[in-house]
Amino acid sequence: MTANAANDAATILIVDDNPVNVGVVVDHLEGEGYQVLVALGGYEALERVRFARPDLILLDVMMPDLDGLQVCRRLHADPPTRDIPVIFMTALADVTDKIAAFEAGGVDYVSKPFQLEEVLARVRTHLALRRARQDLEAHTAVLEAEIEARRAAEQALRYLALHDPLTGLPNRTMLMDRLQQAIAQARRDQRQVGLLLMDLDHFKHINDSLGHFIGDELLEQVARRLRTVLRECDTAARLGGDEFVIAAGALHGPGDAEQLALRVLKVLDAPFMVQGRELHAGATIGISLYPGDGDNPAALLQAADTAMYQAKRRGRGSYRLFSRDLSIAAERWHALSNDLHGACERGEFVLHYQPQVSIDTGEVTGIETLLRWQHPQQGLIAPALFIPLLEEHGRMVEVGRWVLHSACAQSAAWQAEGLPPIRIAVNLSGQQFYRGDIVRTVREALERSRLAPELLELELTESLTLDDGEATLRIMGELKALGVVLSLDDFGTGWSSLGYLRRFPLDRIKIDRSFVRDLIGDQGTAAIVHSILDLARQLDLDCVAEGVETDAQLEHLRRERCPTMQGFLFSQGVPAAEIATLLAAGRPKPRRITG
């Protein structure tokens, strides 16, 4: 190792009151390439160190003003100078003096009169030691920073593994863990644990029609509100989608759980403001309890799920406690859900057709296509039972496409048999409207069947129009451009806003069955129907009254100048062959043809 490389211009301070000593050492060290500073007394030494920060100090012990031991002690007491190695130069031979030198903080000593080679050797050694120590410290600092970074990353990972990233609520894993703890605690305290499973009533629709961005923000706001109803021993979690769970510990019984459910429903009842829109989420809650409904988290979750399904079927915006009877109904529901898998491919769906009749002339003016499921064991199943399942499994787009193609083909087939051309209506679900490429599907169905577009009517439900934004308008416009007829189904049941009747390119409205049912005997309903018909005439919209079952209803509608009716009074939905017979028979007067 060359002197220069080893010294790397290290600075050495020599402190000695004897200039002769100093001179000899300085010459020698400078000859080795060190930078050398000199102090001729204790105080001067302290002053020098303060400004020059040498890498090593050679320090005489015996000095008149401040002796070397004191200088060393002071340097050692001060953090910035503590680490500068001090080598004493001493003429004292007594062991106790040498010990005192180490106690004062010195790292080594050389005895006077000294050999210059020895001084140099010790200087080199201590400089190297110091450098090694500094390297080690720097290295340790890097290591510590790395460890800290890793710890932070692990913590973030653990957080991610246990929380829902969107709402920051615990996720399923953490919920199950908390639930397990709550159960153990309840077992010790002779208390109960409640599990509330809820899902938002209108979330799917909001998400589909207004977009994920708004859907996500709604979920965040829901999470925020949920937190406000929790006690310390409760955990709210998000399982995914719009499914939230609350695990409530230390309950006295079902009453406490019901109280909590009511608080949740109440806190979600007020409208949410999302991106300047007022949205109503609402929730349905299923409740299960430990120990009554299960003794482990999975069983409780299953039971709460069952209860929630039942609550939904009874009407949204409510809660329901689990009971064994529910479980049996739920099993049936799940079985049906399983059977539905592949039903389309197996050809189990069939279409029925219900005529629409001119009230004036009794002529059949249109036909509505109604979907049915021919279940291999349970027979014909109504759409109200399985369409929600299809939507839940995301199959409605595909089944809806089949309905559209089949209905168009059927209508073309009737014409090919020589029957008079008749307008055929097909129901569209929200999912088809927003998730599928509905415009293309309709165009293809028309092309393949060669059906004249004005003979195809698409029934849109009012809930579709919740979003009166660009997307809905654009899709409706494109459908209109194909030449098809657009009607608004179940009119009067949704978030009726009369504004969109004018804005949307609609051709007809269908007065919901519930109004026709209460038409006779309820003046309020009669007044509403009167206004709807009035409005339709003013906006130049065609109008159909649905669910006409009695002559009295028909008479009333005739007096109100409602142009068209549809209902059991004339016919329920029937297979295609019966429609062919009906069309072939010409223009029958309205009458009951099926019971």
Binding status of residue 397 toward ligand C2E by CB under 6 A = no
> According to the binding rule CB under 6 A, does residue 427 interact with ligand C2E?
yes
Question: What track of x and - describes contact with ligand C2E for positions 507 through 546 (by CB under 6 A)?
Answer: ------x--------------------------------x
Q: Cis before residue 113, ω within 30 degrees of 0?
A: yes
Give the CB-nearest residue to ligand C2E: 567
CB of 297 to ligand C2E, least distance (A): 37
The dihedrals phi and psi of 94, each to the nearest 5 degrees, come to: -70, 140
In this complex, which beta carbon is closest to ligand C2E, that of residue 21 or of residue 493?
493
Q: Which of residues 459-498 bind ligand C2E (CB under 6 A)?
A: 459, 489-490
Task: Find the part of the chain contacting ligand C2E (CB under 6 A) among 277-285, 337-345, 379-387, 438-446.
Answer: 379-387
Task: Locate the DSSP E strands across 241-329.
Answer: 243-251, 272-274, 277-279, 283-290, 319-321
Chain centroid to CA 351: how far?
Answer: 38
Q: Give the largest Cα separation in the chain, rounded.
A: 138
State CA 279 to chain mean position distance.
Answer: 17
Q: Is 379 in the site for ligand C2E (CB under 6 A)?
A: no
**CA end-to-end span of the chain, whole Å?**
112
- Please say which residue, 16 or 546, places its beta carbon nearer to Ca ion: 546
387 binds ligand C2E per the rule CB under 6 A:
yes
Identify the DSSP state of 545.
Answer: E
The C-alpha R_g of the chain, in whole angstroms, comes to 44
- In 280-378, the DSSP E strands lie at 283-290, 319-321, 349-358, 364-375
Instruction: Output 226 or 548, the one with its CB closest to ligand C2E.
Output: 548
User: Angle at which helices 324-340 and 297-314 pack, to 10 degrees?
Assistant: 80
CB of 507 to ligand C2E, least distance (A): 16
**Closest approach of Cβ 399 to ligand C2E, in Å?**
8
Q: Say whether residue 416 binds ligand C2E (CB under 6 A).
A: no
Q: Residue with structure tokens 């129901």?
A: 427
Task: Between 67 and 507, name the residue whose CB sits nearer to Ca ion.
Answer: 507
Q: Kindly tell me which of 45 and 370 has the beta carbon lying closer to Ca ion.
A: 370
Q: What is the amino acid identity at position 57?
A: I
Q: Judged by CB, which is closer to Ca ion: 39, or 403?
A: 403
Q: Within positions 339 to 368, which residues make up the interface with ligand C2E, using CB under 6 A?
A: 354
Place of tokens 């957080």: 159
Compare residues 293 and 490 and give the one whose CB is closer to Ca ion.
490
Cβ proximity to ligand C2E, 272 vs 570, nearer residue:
570
Q: Closest approach of Cβ 426 to ligand C2E, in Å?
A: 6
Task: Please enumerate in sequence order all residues whose Cβ is within 8 A of that of 546, keeping only pairs 6 or more positions apart, or say none.
Answer: 490, 510, 511, 512, 513, 516, 566, 567
Using CB under 6 A as the binding rule, whether residue 370 contacts ligand C2E is answered as yes
Applying CB under 5 A, which residues contact Ca ion? Answer: 427, 459, 489-490, 546
Residue 358 beta carbon to ligand C2E: minimum distance, rounded to whole angstroms: 16
Dihedral sign (CA 585, 587, 591, 594): positive
Q: Which residues contact 505 (CB under 8 A, 6 or more apart)?
A: 476, 477, 480, 486
Q: Is 5 a residue that touches ligand C2E (CB under 6 A)? A: no
Q: Does 567 bind ligand C2E (CB under 6 A)?
A: yes
Q: Residue numbers of the site for ligand C2E (CB under 6 A)?
A: 354, 370-371, 382-384, 387, 400, 403, 427-429, 459, 489-490, 513, 546-549, 566-568, 572-573
